[in-house]
Amino acid sequence: MLTHLVVAHQTAESPQLTNRLKALAASNQGTSFVLLVPATSIEQVTASPRQMAGERAKAASSALQAAGVNVTRSVVGDEDPLVAIADEIGAHPGLYLGIVISTFPLSLSKWLRLDLPHQARRRFSLPVIHVVALPADAERPDSPAAGLAWPCRHEAVLPRLLPRAEKRNEEMEVFYVCKSCGQSLEPDEVSNALGPTRP
């Protein structure tokens, strides 16, 4: 069975993540997912981070399964998402074929400020799919996400250089980051509207 590790917290029940997982499963028959919710603290929430993460994991797992996504297990991880991923992959060596990381847009995301998608790609040598999702209250005028153009067209893209896992000090691999939403894009994911990819 093909298993992907899905790393999400506040976006775990977002339609953007649900649709991406359904598309991934449709293109790879038999794909299953493990949902990892790091116990990251959330501003203005009084419950403990681990309690919040546990509630999120349970609710999101049920919602994804109801949407037809084959979630075989959900787990709460360390408050540091990179440590949480390392713990889960270390506990199940050889299980995961890739990682799906879901975040808010750049202006709202702690994880993007930590450069999580690229850190995970570099550290674990696994394909990383980055999904950007809006908060549930994005349509409210007082929402921090109000005014964000969505879906993002990725019209301003910056190249990022990462060392290839097998030639860490000799050869660099190019990935791209959207300046507007912060989504990590591989070369074939950069919008065709750009023509040849440019900084």
pLDDT tens digits along 147-191: 455 566 555 555 554 444 444 444 555 556 666 666 666 555 554
For all residues of the chain together, what is the average pLDDT? Answer: 79
Neighbours of 130 (CB within 10 A): 26
pLDDT at 138 (0 to 100): 45
Best CA proximity match to 5, nearest among 32, 29, 45:
32
Q: In whole angstroms, what is the distance from residue 27 CA to residue 9 CA?
A: 25
**What percent of the chain is predicted at pLDDT more than 90?**
50
Q: Is the pLDDT of residue 80 over 60?
A: yes
Element (DSSP H or E) covering residue 178: strand 172-178
The token pair at 64 is 């994804």
- CATH no. for residue 92? 3.40.50.620
Q: In whole angstroms, what is the distance from residue 86 CA to residue 92 CA?
A: 10
What Rg do the C-alpha atoms of the chain give, in angstroms?
A: 17
Q: Which residue has the higher pLDDT, 133 or 154?
A: 133
In a domain, 159, yes or no: no
Domain that residue 16 falls in: 2-135
- pTM, two decimals, is 0.75
Q: Is 73:79 a contact under the CB 8 Å cutoff?
A: no
Q: In whole angstroms, what is the distance from residue 195 CA to residue 101 CA?
A: 27
Q: Is 103:133 a contact under the CB 8 Å cutoff?
A: yes
In a domain, 186, yes or no: no
How many independent structural domains does the chain possess?
1
In a domain, 24, yes or no: yes
